[in-house]
């Protein structure tokens, strides 16, 4: 009896200790994020952070987010705390979050530091490679206590990514100009996650040597680079009218071969599992460009 009582007390102590073990996770800025227990109230300061929270199985913990957080549809019903570039700090604090998910390259980091000064726990997200998206979902799952769902999502993501790499590995290179916007004329540099997607598809970003995330370039620089394909995003499913502004440059290879393509930015420019949908479309476009080498 004494041994049985001792055993039960010991096991109870171990369970209690495990239940209150501190959660420690490193974010994408290299900072340690510490929580005494899984977060029950979470605010996200970027659309991709909200979407990743749902992917990690913790969407029911989302109590506040920013403009354009519209996926999955449930995210549209969550209260707003401003836009990702201008946060309403008072609104965030009023929600009393256990955890705030910030975006390093999109948020005003001075404002993020002010949230920390208010005593809020902040996790900084900046997955610059597609592989890092799976890692991010797993870490969010740890912080929210939804590891089972998060790990399963990450595993499916990795398998699909491996399949894309296998399918497109070894294909002839296609020189790509990826256009985010017209005025200013904006593209993606080497560190940006879209450059990683271009590589997976067997493409070469003609501005991949630039170190900025989203550098401005000139028309002259694009013409000199002479891309074989131009891929534009714009504001949604509709192909932006300005994509065909390039038609007048008839000596550029992308124009001569009619390789002017469009991808919805929601599936290409958000650091979430849906980027693989965008990458599949990008790979298909580059396959079309390869096929036109024989006909145009």
Q: What is the CATH number of the domain that holds 179?
A: 3.40.50.1980
Q: Which residues of 240-279 are buried (b: 16+ CB within 10 A; e: fewer)?
A: beebeebeeeeebbbbebebbbbbbbbbbbbbbbbbbbbb
Residues 204, 124 share a domain: no
- Find the domain containing 264 and state its range: 171-291
Residues 150, 186 share a domain: no
Domain presence at residue 14: no
pTM comes to 0.89
pLDDT at 235: 75
**Would you give per-residue pLDDT tens digits along the chain (296 residues)?**
454 544 454 455 444 444 457 999 999 999 999 999 999 999 999 999 999 999 999 999 999 999 999 999 999 999 999 998 899 999 999 999 999 999 999 999 999 999 999 999 999 999 999 999 999 999 999 999 999 999 999 999 999 999 999 999 999 999 999 999 999 999 999 999 999 999 999 999 999 999 999 999 999 999 999 999 999 997 777 788 899 999 999 999 999 999 999 999 999 999 999 999 999 999 999 999 999 997 66
Provide the domain count of the chain.
2
pLDDT at 19: 46
Residues 230, 134 share a domain: no
Domain presence at residue 3: no
């Amino acid at each position: 009896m004494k041994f049985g009582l001792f055993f039960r007390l010991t096991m109870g102590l171990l369970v209690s200790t495990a239940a209150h073990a501190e959660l420690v996770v490193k974010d994408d800025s290299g900072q340690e994020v510490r929580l005494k227990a899984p977060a029950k109230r979470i605010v996200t300061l970027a659309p991709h952070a909200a979407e990743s929270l749902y992917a990690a199985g913790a969407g029911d913990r989302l109590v506040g987010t920013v403009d354009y957080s519209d996926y999955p549809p449930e995210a549209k019903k969550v209260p707003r705390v401003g836009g990702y570039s201008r946060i309403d700090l008072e609104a965030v604090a009023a929600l009393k979050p256990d955890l705030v998910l910030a975006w390093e390259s999109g948020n005003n980091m001075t404002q993020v530091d002010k949230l920390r000064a208010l005593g809020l726990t902040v996790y900084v997200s900046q997955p610059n490679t597609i592989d890092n998206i799976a890692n991010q979902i797993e870490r969010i799952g740890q912080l929210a206590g939804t590891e089972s769902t998060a790990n399963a999502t990450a595993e499916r993501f990795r398998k699909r990514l491996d399949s894309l790499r296998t399918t497109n590995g070894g294909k002839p290179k296609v020189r790509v100009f990826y256009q985010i916007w017209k005025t200013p004329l904006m593209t993606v540099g080497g560190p940006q996650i879209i450059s990683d997607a271009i590589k997976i598809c067997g493409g070469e970003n003609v501005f991949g040597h630039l170190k900025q995330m989203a550098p401005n370039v000139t028309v002259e620089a694009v013409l000199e680079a002479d891309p074989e394909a131009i891929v534009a995003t714009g504001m949604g499913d509709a192909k932006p009218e300005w994509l065909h502004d390039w038609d007048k440059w008839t000596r550029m290879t992308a124009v001569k071969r009619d390789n002017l393509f469009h991808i919805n930015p929601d599936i290409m420019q958000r650091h979430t599992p849906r980027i693989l949908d965008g990458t599949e479309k990008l790979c298909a476009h580059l396959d079309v460009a390869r096929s036109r080498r024989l006909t145009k």
